[in-house]
Amino acid sequence: MAKILITDDEPKIREMIRKYAQYEGFDVTEAADGMEAVELCTERNFDLVIMDIMMPNLDGFSAVKEIRRIRPQIAVIMLSALGEEYDKVHGFDLGVDDYVVKPFSGKELMMRIHAILKRVNPQASASEVYTINGMVIDCSARTVHIDGVRVNLSPKEYELLVYLVRNTGIALTREQILQTVWGYDFFGDDRTLDTHIKLLRKNLGEYSRYIVTLRGVGYRFEKES
């Protein structure tokens, strides 16, 4: 998994980011200021650096400039307090990959990290492949093959399948599924999910037997037997 260096002089912020990043499976290291970040980057390589701007010893911009000299490939996300518009431009001039304004949500930051790592190295995020007997789901290609034959799924069908498979053996309520696959703001008809399950089952052919209806609850993707 990708190696990330978090640079901020506030331990609380570092901790918050670290928790989120570790939850997502990243290999996380912390630095308390720009100087420490530069030292760490000299010693070993990171895929991405999260860098605050205002810091003692060495500010974020100078640190990034130095780090880029050593590791031109490294991805950089700058953090800064609200309203420092000049910094934004300055940051992008330096070739910074993204820019996040404090206060930010952990989720948002993670999404940006994923987006950047994907952009920089799409193959690296190519590892997710689920194999259920003769059914192969390749998340990087966004394809589903059954016995070697490609199955065309609509976006909703695909996402629904991946969500179910990722939670193989776990009962998922209708609400959970709708919230995850459709989003928090879905207030549509209660039969929408039924219909998509139906379409998905149709497309999966005999593999539809893995999608089990839990009456009064929702659905579950069966473990291989």
Partner DNA sequence: TCTGAAAATTCAGATTATCTTCAGGTAATC
Partner DNA sequence: GATTACCTGAAGATAATCTGAATTTTCAGA
* Contacting positions for DNA (CB under 7 A): 152, 154-157, 174, 182, 186, 188-192, 194-199, 201, 213-218
Establish if 155 lies at the interface with a copy of itself (CB under 8 A): yes
Establish if 192 lies at the interface with a copy of itself (CB under 8 A): no
Q: Which is nearer to DNA, 12 or 191 (CB)?
A: 191
Establish if 131 lies at the interface with a copy of itself (CB under 8 A): no
Using CB distances below 5 to 8 A depending on partner kind, what does residue 192 bind out of DNA, a copy of itself, none? Answer: DNA
Strand partners, 155: none
Residue 125: left if φ>0, alpha if ψ -120 to 50, beta else—which one?
alpha
Establish if 47 lies at the interface with a copy of itself (CB under 8 A): no
Q: Which is nearer to DNA, 70 or 171 (CB)?
A: 171
Smallest separation, CB 145 to DNA (Å): 16
Strand partners, 144: 137, 151
Q: Which is nearer to DNA, 111 or 171 (CB)?
A: 171
Pairwise CA distance, residues 62 & 152, whole Å: 50
The DSSP symbol for 53 reads S
Contact present, 157 and 207 (Cβ < 8 Å): no
Dihedral (CA of 83, 46, 1, 157) sign? positive
Establish if 105 lies at the interface with a copy of itself (CB under 8 A): no
Q: Which is nearer to DNA, 25 or 155 (CB)?
A: 155
Pairwise CA distance, residues 100 & 109, whole Å: 7
